[in-house]
Structure 1
């Protein structure tokens, strides 16, 4: 008779929803975990005294207090890993929990595959080797002004570095926001470098740079013959980044219908190639980014609200360069040194150039600063750059005003290059409705849309913030 399977670990489930806790316990017991259940903080502490857990699955809202109180409890044994289980991804509480010591976050309802994958990660964690990396990176920051792939010693960036060092050791999804040029990909790369996935692939994908018609195939892959032109099997980004990190830049540019499939992957840990019926495991950490304000992107219908909450477990908002002006000169010198090393000739900034660097607003952020330094290096014939070849955007003369892309007259609409389809459609719907004196059935017939579609459009327009051109 074969020996019984070895117990993998002892898991304590702390949740006052009895049915949820029992379902999780049954699932884990079937996978050869030993399990205890507690419906309150008091019962959780009693269970910890009876048998020290390896992993705690912790709900935040308990009848006798805040679940976060348990994370810092003196009775919680050293080395015990805590993962949140919550019915909704509350940003504030999730961030607090991660800073207190939680190392993962699971959103209810919790499917079998993501739960077991999370437990595998939690059990695999020992004293993270990344902590040594973080300490070394902190030393380099003090001496060289660099943290991983990021430059700058300002207080605003030091706060970002502390958050990166903390969240990198977890498996939670990170949502990086900030203006264009602030370094969102560098943040994602640094999170990856500090994580336990650092030896595995890091794949950066710009969702705004892929044709919407090809995006599903590029992200999830496709089978040979699944569509015209698919003459071979293609491994998608999830497959290429297996074991590592997938950085989805400008995720708000992903078609809404594809966002549903991304949400399913994040919730179930499984996906299928286009044209396949076989599910594949997604062993990938996702980091998303956008230069749009996420709440506004949700309001505009560019980002599904449920996907936003699933991505936004740990938000990182990067400050614009104008809010960390202490970093401008060190960054400029860094870019100048890189140019010198690459081109074989070191140069330095003169007093006038330094003044120009420090007085600009740098609306294009770090990217604009780098471009200005590189072009100034190229155009300066001597070893000292006395003046910047391209001055900061804040001091450039304003460009002449171009005609508005969309102009609405009393009985006509003028469209020019630069007008979006959404703006043109809105103007046409509003003008047609006015033409028919707000008779919706006649307006819908003239527009060639159903009355239901017209009502949907008008409801969406009413929810937009601020006036639009021509209204």
Structure 2
């Protein structure tokens, strides 16, 4: 039977908590001071410590002055409220979770149900690291380049805690896969993992989808509907494209993160939200805040533990490994073995992948289908960009000049895809001035993004699927951007 140590100077609160914990089939010891806590740990090492940080003879943090004292114990903080500071403190200490006073039974049961000894979590990380060394994958993620090793280290560090994770990276880099891996290494792994694309749900329905609604709360609500927060109870909720969430709903999400409670649409009764939130965006967070797409206070609340995913062009050494992984998955599905030629692998490794891992997967699928025999040659693979042409965000940029550009001049920012690219060589730059986007120095990132998107759309004769593929963004993201630009144009007053 697992043993719990409750460290709380409030005698009544500690006694009540002991009864609740004992009812869940744990043995329990109480301590009201640091001195008592050290003595209890010496008598019997606890599997789980419920720790109030404010004690008569010091801070509960003082227990960590001797790391060996609680090295084999899972730690849960007891706090007066779920604040951003509490989350950061829990992360710093490696705490599994925290309980908010007054402690309610359902909240406690959730924490106890997720109990897992630190050694078990370390064993899972060791298992994934073994897979990385032998096969080149870490959970659902593939790659051995240094930028990815850093991502794996971050996942290993944060997965066992309860803090919010904020994943950033270009479209197609695998943000949902990172979120899934965090969940699989967490104490919530046996509970649901739900992924929500905030940009794929109608603004009129997104609140109902996330928080649920009561019967009769609006026209068409003919029954009660459970939202994602309720369906993910005890597990993890992944909110992708968080910057596409309406601002008024961002306020309600912020409240859930701060209070741990939410209400269905049409209800007056609040409910506990026993869910870990992981959010993601393919926008630069600071640009999203400055352009009014993301509330600054929500960014601070989400960005407790940031993970930045590198674009594929910054880890080209992983392309061969990823391509082989995708090819093996197709072979398993289709039942016919094919293999890459050396020329094909060289071609893949020299392309810059503006659409990142998603584009690579699609290219491998297409090449498999088009290969007539068992060998996949470079015939159906994209051609690499011109040598010496640096890329930013998947768009080709001219080489820098020796002299600084005067602030009054227009600067050529990106070459649109050439006619050859339109025929199948995605991302190839063009030297034709007619296909260049030029912007004045001092243009904001948001304005530069709009200019590039609109120019690329015009170049491809308003074919949105083609435009999205060339820009390396999802079709839904393109639609969202165009909707924003249309709204901005309507709000801009015209002269005359």
TM-score by length of structure 2 reads 0.68
Question: 3-state DSSP class of the match of 1:275?
Answer: coil
Counterpart-to-counterpart distance in 1, 2:65 and 2:173: 34
Partner of 1:358: 349
Matched, 1:140 2:131: yes
Counterpart-to-counterpart distance in 2, 1:114 and 1:248: 27
Partner of 1:459: none
Partner of 2:229: 238
Counterpart-to-counterpart distance in 2, 1:359 and 1:210: 37
Counterpart-to-counterpart distance in 2, 1:304 and 1:325: 35
Matched, 1:278 2:278: no
Root mean square deviation of aligned Cα: 3.8
Equivalent residue in structure 2 for 1:256, among 226, 235, 247: 247
Counterpart-to-counterpart distance in 1, 2:285 and 2:177: 20
Cα distance change on mapping 1:262 and 1:388 into 2, 3 Å = farther
Equivalent residue in structure 2 for 1:121, among 86, 100, 111: 111
Question: 3-state DSSP class of the match of 2:373?
Answer: coil
Matched, 1:55 2:50: yes
Cα distance change on mapping 1:27 and 1:267 into 2, 3 Å = farther
Counterpart-to-counterpart distance in 2, 1:68 and 1:357: 54
Cα distance change on mapping 1:111 and 1:310 into 2, 3 Å = farther
Deviation at 1:269, TM superposition (A): 2.1
Partner of 1:151: 142
Equivalent residue in structure 2 for 1:79, among 73, 77, 81: 73
Counterpart-to-counterpart distance in 2, 1:378 and 1:327: 23
Counterpart-to-counterpart distance in 2, 1:275 and 1:36: 45
1:186-214 deviation line (CA, Å, top 9, x unaligned): 11111111222222211111000000100
Number of residue equivalences: 393
1:416-465 deviation line (CA, Å, top 9, x unaligned): x777045425643xx66xx8xxxxxxxxxxxxxxxxxxxxxxxxxxxxxx
Counterpart-to-counterpart distance in 2, 1:261 and 1:348: 51
Is the Cα–Cα contact under 8 Å of residues 74 and 117 in structure 2 kept in the other structure?
A: no
Cα distance change on mapping 1:238 and 1:159 into 2, 3 Å = same
Deviation at 1:27, TM superposition (A): 6.0
1:312-363 deviation line (CA, Å, top 9, x unaligned): 2221111111111111111011111111221121111112211211111112
Matched, 1:424 2:413: no
Unaligned runs of 5+ in 2: 20-28, 387-426, 438-449, 456-481
Partner of 1:311: 302
Deviation at 1:123, TM superposition (A): 8.7
Partner of 2:64: 70
Within 5 A, what are the aligned runs for 1:360-375? 360-375=351-366
Counterpart-to-counterpart distance in 1, 2:286 and 2:12: 38
Partner of 1:172: 163
TM-score by length of structure 1 reads 0.71
Is the Cα–Cα contact under 8 Å of residues 82 and 260 in structure 2 kept in the other structure?
A: no
Unaligned runs of 5+ in 1: 1-7, 14-20, 39-43, 408-416, 436-471
